[in-house]
Chains A and B, each alone.
Chain A
């Protein structure tokens, strides 16, 4: 399968770059980042606040059966429609800390566009912490599966 999303994370650095080419016109790609109900659909989180302007801010929250599982927030420093968003991002109650994000949106053709996200972490260790998270999540999923199997066996 083709890998459309690329991550460039050099060893020992405290930043990384995510790039992705979309089969979407530039304005639709940008809209996915600016309308709450669209962000909710692709991020899989509830958008409590999304004030897209210079000195604006945003808040996300994800609940599972009434229990809050994930909270994130940030401030928007610069907002240029169809070009760029400069913002901070922080997951609450997580050891990753605040990160600074530069999002650059670019037209390739009428129907394709490119997104480049440059993320800067507080330190090299904070970046490593972030990179390990999805891996830990994968292991948790495996653990849940194992519990499922164990429960089945006990019946």
Chain B
């Protein structure tokens, strides 16, 4: 692997951010149209502070960018960052990890037929 430790850590954070279904939904919403925090929150049943926390995580790992418009802050989807992670291996690895975990469980419960 060519990546140094620093970029590995950053990338893992991005995948943690993407691992949450609500955060993925937020990304899809904002990818279609830039929005304010209030507009994003109105699309979810979740409490407003929870949505704010999700927005903070997505902004910290640069999947969302904050743009100041007068008194309002709107959130923009960072397509460049998404492209970076799209090339990365982690989802592929996780797919195998889950598959092999299942294999291990299946075989631990395996009783040979007499």
**Complex Cα spacing A133 to B96, Å:** 13
Contacts known (A31-B107, A32-B107); A11 close to B89, Cβ less than 8 A: no
Interface residues of A in 113-141 (CB under 8 A from B): 115, 128, 130-135, 137-139, 141
Instruction: Say yes or no for A143: interface residue by CB 8 A criterion.
Output: yes
**Stretch from A20-28, A56-64, A81-89, A101-109 contacting the other chain:** A20-28
Secondary structure call for the B interface: helix
Cβ distance B7 to chain A, nearest Cβ, rounded Å: 13
- Could you say which of B44, B86, B103 contacts A42, with CB atoms under 8 Å apart? B103
State whether A142 touches B27 (Cβ < 8 A). Answer: yes
- Could you say which of A28, A130, A146 contacts B25, with CB atoms under 8 Å apart? A146
**Complex Cα spacing A42 to B110, Å:** 12
State whether B92 touches A130 (Cβ < 8 A). Answer: yes
State whether A32 touches B106 (Cβ < 8 A). Answer: yes
Instruction: Count chain B residues whose beta carbon lies closer than 8 angstroms to a beta carbon of A.
Output: 34
State whether B103 touches A22 (Cβ < 8 A). Answer: yes
Instruction: Say yes or no for A94: interface residue by CB 8 A criterion.
Output: no
State whether A22 touches B104 (Cβ < 8 A). Answer: yes
- Could you say which of B25, B27, B43, B92 contacts A133, with CB atoms under 8 Å apart? B92
State whether B107 touches A138 (Cβ < 8 A). Answer: no
Cβ distance A30 to chain B, nearest Cβ, rounded Å: 10
- Could you say which of B24, B95, B110 contacts A141, with CB atoms under 8 Å apart? B24
- Could you say which of B92, B101, B103 contacts A32, with CB atoms under 8 Å apart? B103
> In this complex, what residue of A is CB-closest to B108?
A24
Interface residues of B in 12-54 (CB under 8 A from A): 18, 21, 24-25, 27-29, 43-45
State whether A145 touches B24 (Cβ < 8 A). Answer: yes
Residues in A whose Cβ lies below 8 Å from that of B97: 3-5
Query: Nearest 10 pairs between A and B by C-beta?
Result: A142-B24, A134-B91, A42-B103, A5-B97, A135-B91, A42-B102, A134-B95, A41-B106, A28-B107, A7-B93
